[in-house]
């Protein structure tokens, strides 16, 4: 988790530093809060990654002498083709179009979302990929 620590720790330092600089140059409170709270959020993730890194064993990604084979393992089973991720993305698009065009669109999208997420979850229980 060495890379994650660098990313989130560096982001936290950068964002908090930018909030301080922004305070003195722009004199605008909203931007200071946005940058500051983003830095605090990155700092929280940094703390979480630090705590997890102490509890778990070293990962192959952190070992400079590791080979690709060291990280091999069961990735999971994925279907060769599936239409359900497409329908779920369309559903999310309809839900996100609701606030600007009318809340009825979000409600319709949520109803269709139940169908699309259920289809994705139960993909292996019926149809072509049934076990």
Separation between Cα atoms, residue 72 and residue 70, nearest integer Å: 6
- Give the pLDDT of the chain (131 residues) as one tens digit per residue: 788 999 999 999 999 999 999 999 998 999 999 999 999 999 999 999 999 989 988 888 878 888 888 878 777 777 778 899 999 999 999 999 999 999 999 999 999 999 999 999 888 887 777 76
Q: How much is the pLDDT for 107?
A: 95
Q: How much is the pLDDT for 125?
A: 85
Give the structural domain span for 50.
2-71
**% helix, strand, coil for the chain, step of 5:** 75, 0, 25
Q: How much is the pLDDT for 62?
A: 79
Q: How much is the pLDDT for 63?
A: 81
Same-domain pairing of 94 and 124:
yes
Instruction: Name the residue with tokens 């720790």.
Output: 9
Q: Which among 119, 113, 80, 120 is positioned nearest to 97, based on CA atoms?
A: 113
Contact 11, 42 (CB under 8 A): yes
Q: How much is the pLDDT for 69?
A: 83
Same-domain pairing of 44 and 95:
no
Q: How much is the pLDDT for 116?
A: 96
Domain annotation covers residue 79 = no
Last residue of a domain, one of 42, 71, 100: 71
Same-domain pairing of 36 and 92:
no
Q: How many CB atoms lie within 10 A of CB 15?
A: 19
Domain annotation covers residue 101 = yes
Tally of domains within the chain: 2
């Amino acid at each position: 988790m060495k890379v994650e620590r660098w990313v989130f720790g560096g982001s936290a330092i950068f964002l908090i530093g930018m909030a301080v600089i922004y305070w003195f140059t722009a004199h605008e409170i909203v931007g200071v809060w946005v940058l500051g709270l983003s830095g605090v959020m990155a700092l929280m993730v940094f703390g979480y990654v630090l705590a997890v890194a102490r509890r778990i064993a070293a990962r192959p990604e952190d070992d400079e002498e590791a080979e690709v084979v060291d990280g091999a393992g069961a990735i999971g089973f994925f279907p060769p083709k599936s239409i359900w991720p497409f329908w779920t993305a369309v559903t999310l698009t309809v839900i996100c179009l609701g606030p600007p065009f009318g809340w009825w669109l979000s409600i319709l999208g949520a109803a269709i979302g139940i169908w699309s997420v259920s289809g994705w979850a139960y993909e292996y229980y019926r149809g072509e990929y049934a076990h």
